[in-house]
């Protein structure tokens, strides 16, 4: 059995001091949004509770699907680096960036440099840049494929993009991992499902992504961005049904409009043609409560039918 913990949308706070020069950009809208809404809706204390429970569960690996920061300030990116290092080593944690990590032009490159080891494929030593995606990591029977949908956008937009270049590279990694009989997990920040979020926040390239999965296959897709606990399904290779699983924001308090913070704990059992996948969502059922199991379901059961 392989155990994988998945969480997303940390939005580490509070915001550090910010200069007027840094606000002369899209950041001004994000700064106002932070003080009007996010500062109240987020609870940094719950992040500590979530991560403590993750570590206590002793997963074989941890997947983090983006939005570690808020405005992609240099101090925020550095703070996130220190937070990641406290959580665990790059060997044990895989990260893909979110739209907040690429909030303004140049931010994504800075994040890639700062979080280098957490976003690198096995054996990759080249300097971290945005074009290093997708990457491939193999842990036990699992292939973790990290793609990037993050890019700087105009004010009031939070869309992502899955390019033809990433399609070609990701397809090659999917084929390679499939030939080795590995359980293939794709990590992406924006949900590759139509209607999962509003037009101004959607992934551009959903059709490309789904066509790629139909042709080359995958066993599981993990995403963040929506701050919702969801399970969608898309078509895989040879008629397979591929679960696409979202998660609440790991920093979400019980005071906001979105579901409070939790993380996903997957148990992956079996072998090719007989994989079984169990999902447990863990979080606090009430403000100040301890982390417990909130729900439990089989995504793929022993008879290969969705639960």
The residue range of the domain holding 239 is: 2-300
The Cα-based distances of 173 to 47, 48, 160, 176, 189 in angstroms read 32, 34, 21, 5, 18
* Cβ-contact 112, 128 below 8 angstroms: yes
Instruction: Give dist(CA 279, CA 296) in Å, integer.
Output: 6
Residue range 262-267: mean pLDDT, rounded: 97
> Out of 6-20, 25-39, 71-85, 238-252, which region has the weakest mean confidence (pLDDT)?
25-39
Phi, psi of 273 (to 5 degrees): 75, -5
* Cβ-contact 80, 69 below 8 angstroms: yes
The two beta strands, 183-187 and 142-146, are parallel
Asked if residue 19 has pLDDT above 70, the reply is no
Asked if residue 220 has pLDDT above 60, the reply is yes
pLDDT score, position 43: 58
Let me know if residue 175 belongs to a domain.
Answer: yes
Asked if residue 247 has pLDDT above 70, the reply is yes
Asked if residue 112 has pLDDT above 90, the reply is yes
Let me know if residue 228 belongs to a domain.
Answer: yes
- CATH number for 130: 3.60.21.10
Let me know if residue 50 belongs to a domain.
Answer: yes
pLDDT score, position 45: 78
Res. 307 pLDDT band, cuts 50 70 90? very low
Res. 35 pLDDT band, cuts 50 70 90? very low
Asked if residue 304 has pLDDT above 80, the reply is no
Asked if residue 30 has pLDDT above 70, the reply is no
pLDDT tens-digit series, residues 204-217: 999 999 999 999 99
190-229 burial, b for 16+ CB within 10 Å, e for fewer?
A: bbbbeebbeeebbbebbebbbebbbebbbbbbbbbbbbeb
Let me know if residue 306 belongs to a domain.
Answer: no
Left, alpha or beta for 287 (phi > 0: left; psi -120 to 50: alpha)? beta
Residue range 103-125: mean pLDDT, rounded: 91
Instruction: Give dist(CA 98, CA 106) in Å, integer.
Output: 14
Higher pLDDT, 30 or 122: 122
* Cβ-contact 169, 186 below 8 angstroms: no
Let me know if residue 272 belongs to a domain.
Answer: yes
Res. 26 pLDDT band, cuts 50 70 90? low
Let me know if residue 305 belongs to a domain.
Answer: no
Instruction: Give dist(CA 62, CA 104) in Å, integer.
Output: 27
Average confidence score pLDDT of the chain: 89
pLDDT score, position 100: 92
Angle between helices 74-87 and 107-114 (to 10 degrees): 30
Total count of domains within the chain: 1
Res. 253 pLDDT band, cuts 50 70 90? confident
**Which DSSP symbol is given to 287?**
T
pLDDT tens-digit series, residues 157-197: 889 999 999 999 999 999 999 999 999 999 999 999 999 99
* Cβ-contact 219, 3 below 8 angstroms: no
pLDDT tens-digit series, residues 45-102: 789 899 999 999 999 999 999 999 988 889 999 999 999 999 999 999 999 999 999 9
């Amino acid at each position: 059995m392989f155990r994988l913990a998945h969480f997303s949308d940390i939005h580490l706070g509070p915001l550090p001091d910010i200069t007027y020069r840094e606000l002369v950009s899209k950041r001004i809208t994000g700064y106002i949004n932070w003080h009007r809404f996010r500062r109240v809706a987020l609870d940094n204390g719950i992040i500590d509770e979530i991560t403590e429970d993750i570590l206590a569960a002793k997963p074989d690996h941890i997947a983090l699907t983006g939005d570690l920061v808020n405005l992609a300030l240099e101090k925020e990116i550095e703070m996130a680096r220190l937070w990641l290092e406290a959580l665990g080593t790059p060997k044990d944690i895989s990260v893909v960036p979110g739209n907040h990590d690429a909030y303004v032009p140049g931010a994504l490159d800075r994040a890639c440099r700062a979080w280098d080891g957490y976003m690198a494929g096995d054996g990759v030593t080249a300097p971290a840049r945005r074009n290093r995606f997708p990457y491939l990591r193999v842990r036990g029977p699992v292939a973790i494929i990290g793609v990037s949908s993050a890019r700087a956008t105009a004010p009031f937009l939070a869309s992502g993009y899955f390019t033809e270049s990433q399609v070609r590279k990701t397809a090659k990694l999917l084929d390679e991992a499939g030939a080795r009989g590995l359980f293939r997990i794709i990590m992406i920040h924006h949900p590759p499902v139509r209607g999962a979020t509003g037009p101004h926040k959607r992934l551009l390239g959903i059709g490309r992504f789904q066509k790629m999965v139909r042709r080359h296959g995958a066993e599981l897709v993990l995403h963040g961005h929506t701050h919702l606990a969801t399970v969608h399904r898309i078509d895989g290779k040879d008629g397979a049904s591929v679960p696409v699983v979202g998660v609440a924001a790991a920093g979400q308090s019980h005071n906001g409009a979105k579901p409070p913070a939790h993380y996903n704990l997957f148990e992956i059992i079996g072998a090719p043609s007989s994989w079984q996948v169990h999902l447990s969502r863990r979080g606090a059922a009430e403000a100040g409560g301890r982390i417990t199991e909130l729900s439990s379901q089989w995504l793929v059961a022993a008879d290969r039918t969705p639960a």
